[in-house]
Chain A
């Protein structure tokens, strides 16, 4: 009998779709708003912070410039006492690029071997335009996929390459960089072969742009080998020292530092800050979801009541013919659940499609990679809303059928 009633419930849903139209529109509209809101907020947060969270929190980048070398070195010595911590250092300098008046470059002299290279990301606003310095990995974009360099090799950033290379040129190309030898005021020009390209800074740091005068200007990046410096015996005091610390205890490493004396960039600070923002958003999301939930419940109540009014004659006839109340309850429980589940699925499909359109707009119009994302917390909230509303209103709807007076609605045809 249950099986027959199940098939009958499906049949009645099909035959009374018009009665369910208002209810269906209410469900699709309300659940789409709820899911759309949750997903859009989550996706925006995710896309804002995806780089920060994709970056290893175990990396800390620091550098000093000028007179604070002893404080910087003292910090590096203190790192020896922090377990699971190691670091390496390299030198960096800013200079003009030979032959181009408007182009400056940061030249980093890396130690030999394949080492991870991180750059400072100072343009990641976390909230309220607050800037948290973090270290993000340098991305290689040419065939060469590591930073191991011979003494006459270099890696430069993409926009610098396109600014200086002849049109149609491919790697390797030659560049000249000025190095100041020890005890001299005249720089020596060293010729280097560019063997690889790294990405421009996405947040507008090291990249070259077309200036108003029609010339290319800005700041480029050059990575060269540290063996070049030892070959020329340079005065290292003229360079800033960069330390890249790899540690399982980033909090301890940061706590041991003196950020007022030298610049310390660590992603875990940015991650912690981002987590605070996400937590605050979670509370806002929770409040808005509760408001939407209540509005949805009110809408559903009246829509279910309307749907039931249209069916009271049918209930009266069935009851008069001998249908037990429990069978009517079961039929309407099934109908309500079918309507709820189908319409919730439709709203999920609808929201997914709208978000895919937003993704396409970001991709084709803004040339940005916008990832569709929903957090576990939002999934949980949406599931709780869907399941609880489905159960409560299906049960309420079916229970209300028991209150239909047979005689009253038989007469009402």
Chain B
């Protein structure tokens, strides 16, 4: 597993009002961090900033030693080091499951043994039978497993999961949480945003975002 080092200090972000008012957070390989908080507390904004898809106003953010500059696009870091799992899956409806999973291979030719990994993932997640199906025909659990396969294929060292079990039944919740736990054991850093207290308990560290600041639970 590649090294992961996220160091965030005094990070602030405001829209029409302040949302993040000085976030300090470190994540390294094998960390399983859950962030909980009320709706509108800024959890998703923080996740997007850590995931390098949103800019912040002030503070410092170092990703694997590189200082993140708000003016640049970090698509290469996202492509190589970060895997996103969303509550609403964000699968592209015009592509089938196989094409959705292999999407990152269009942009990253350097993924080692990519087809081997693909076959392993598909077998582990038990989605072989639905690979050629249109994603719109899948159940919520199947969609999330396809989304997880897509996130894991480039072998990221950080998985950012935004309410990954929010739309799932208990059985599928357990499957997904089990998968995240096993990925954490492989050395990946997991950053989980959830409302689900049971899911948050799975994490090594549980933080509450309140008043724009992170507090230990």
Residues of A near any B CB (own CB < 8 A): 1, 4-5, 8, 11-12, 15-16, 313-314, 316-325, 327, 406-407, 410, 413
B73/A318 in contact, CB under 8 A = no
Residues of B within 8 A of A11 (CB): 99
Question: Is B75 engaged at the interface, CB distance under 8 Å to the other chain?
Answer: yes
B107 touches A317 (CB 8 A): no
Chain B CB within 10 Å — which of A15, A16, A320 has the most? A320
Q: Is the CB of B75 within 8 A of A323?
A: yes
Q: Which residues of A contact B94 (CB under 8 A)?
A: 12, 15-16, 314
Which of chain B's residues have a CB closer than 8 A to the CB of A4?
105-106
Chain B residue contacts of A410, Cβ below 8 A: 53, 86, 90
- Known interface pairs A16-B94, A325-B75, A410-B86; A320-B51 also in contact (CB < 8 Å): yes
Closest B residue to A19 by beta carbon equals B94
Q: Which residues of A contact B99 (CB under 8 A)?
A: 11
CB of B88 within 8 Å of the partner chain: yes
CB distance from A101 to the nearest CB of B (A): 84
Query: Chain A residues with Cβ under 8 A from B88's Cβ?
Result: 413
> Closest CB of chain B to A320's CB: distance in Å?
5
For this complex, 13 residue pairs linking A to B, each with C-beta atoms less than 8 Å apart, are A316-B90, A317-B91, A318-B92, A320-B90, A321-B79, A323-B79, A323-B103, A323-B107, A324-B107, A327-B107, A410-B86, A413-B89, A413-B90
Choose from A5, A12, A319, A327 the contact partner of B53 (Cβ within 8 Å).
A319
Instruction: Report the nearest B residue to A311, measured CB to CB.
Output: B94
B75, closest chain A residue (CB): A324
Q: Is the CB of A322 within 8 A of B75?
A: yes
Given contacts A15-B94, A324-B76, 9 further A-B contacts (CB under 8 A): A1-B106, A1-B109, A317-B91, A317-B92, A321-B107, A322-B76, A322-B77, A324-B79, A327-B107
How far is B108's CA from A413's CA once the two chains are assembled, in angstroms?
Answer: 25
Contact B106 A8, beta carbon cutoff 8 Å? yes
- B106 and A5 form a contact (CB under 8 A): yes
| Shortest Cβ distance from residue B6 to the other chain A in the assembled complex, whole angstroms | 17
**B128 CB-CB contact with A under 8 Å:** no
**Taking the complex as formed, is B84 at the interface, i.e. its CB lies under 8 A from any CB of chain A?**
yes
Q: In the complex, what residues of A have CB within 8 A of residue B78's CB? A: 320-322
CB distance from B154 to the nearest CB of A (A): 8
| CB-contact partner of A406 in B53, B89, B92, under 8 A | B53
- A299 to chain B minimum Cβ distance, whole angstroms, is 25
B106 near A320 (CB under 8 angstroms)? Answer: no
B95, A322: Cβ atoms under 8 Å?
no
A322 touches B106 (CB 8 A): no
State the 4 A-B residue pairs at the shortest beta-carbon distance, nearest first: A322-B79, A322-B78, A15-B94, A324-B75
Interface centre among B79, B91, B105, by most A CB within 10 Å? B79
Given A1-B109, A15-B95, A322-B78, A407 and B90 contact (CB-CB distance below 8 Å): no
A320 and B76 in contact (CB under 8 A), knowing A12-B94, A314-B92, A410-B86?
no
Give the Cβ gap from B196 to chain A, nearest Cβ, in Å: 20
Task: Point out the residues of chain B lying under 8 angstroms from A318, CB to CB.
Answer: 92, 103, 107
- Chain A residues with Cβ below 8 Å from B89 are 413
Closest to B53 in A: A406
Which residues from A are CB-within-8-Å of B174? none
Is B41 among interface residues, defined by CB-CB distance under 8 A?
no
Contact A321–B109 (Cβ < 8 Å): no
Cα A410 to Cα B84 in complex, Å, equals 11
List the A side residues contacting B106 at CB < 8 Å.
Answer: 1, 4-5, 8, 323, 327
Q: Is the CB of A320 within 8 A of B107?
A: no
Question: Chain A nearest CB: distance from B89 CB in Å?
Answer: 8
- Residue pair A322, B92 in contact (C-beta under 8 Å): no
Q: Cβ of B73: which chain A residues have Cβ within 8 Å of it?
A: 324-325
Is B145 part of the contact surface with A, judged by Cβ < 8 Å? no
From A15, A322, A407, B82 is in contact (CB under 8 Å) with A322
- The CA-CA distance from A12 to B95 in the complex, in Å, is 8
Write the nearest CB–CB distance from A108 to chain B, whole angstroms: 77
Q: Is the CB of B53 within 8 A of A1?
A: no
Check: B80 CB closer than 8 A to any chain A CB: yes
Identify the closest chain A residue to B51 (Cβ). A320
Q: How far is the CB of B53 from chain A (nearest CB, A)?
A: 5
Min CB–CB distance A21 → chain B (angstroms):
14
Contacts of A16 in B (CB 8 A): 94
Query: In the assembly, what is the distance between CA of A1 and CA of B107, in Å?
Result: 7
> B48 within 8 Å of A by Cβ?
yes
Contact of A321 with B54 in the complex, beta carbons under 8 Å: no
Q: Give bound CA distance, A257 to B49, whole Å.
A: 91
- Indicate if the CB atoms of A320 and B79 lie closer than 8 Å: no
**Cβ contacts under 8 Å, B154 to chain A:** 322
B115 to chain A, nearest CB (A): 14
Is the pair B48, A319 in contact by a Cβ cutoff of 8 Å?
no
A316 partner residues in chain B, CB cutoff 8 A: 90
Which residues of B, 89-126, contact A by the 8 Å Cβ criterion? Answer: 89-92, 94-95, 99, 103-109
List, in ascending order, chain B residues with CB within 8 A of A406's CB: 53-54
Q: Within the complex, which residue of B48, B95, B103 is in contact with A321, where a contact is CB–CB below 8 Å? A: B103
Chain A residues contacting B80 (CB-CB under 8 Å) are: 322
Bound Cα distance A11, B103 (Å): 13
Give, as a whole number of angstroms, the nearest-CB distance from A231 to chain B: 92
Cβ distance A103 to chain B, nearest Cβ, rounded Å:
78
- B30 → chain A closest CB, angstroms: 23
Measured CB to CB, the nearest residue on chain B to A4 is B106
In the complex, what distance in Å separates the CA atom of A321 from the CA atom of B83? 7
A322 B107 Cβ-Cβ under 8 A: yes
In the assembled complex, which residues on chain A have CB atoms less than 8 Å from the CB atom of B76? 322, 324
Residues of B within 8 A of A322 (CB): 75-80, 82, 104, 107-108, 154
Mark B57-83 against chain A: 1 for CB-CB distance below 8 A, else 0: 000000000000000010111111010
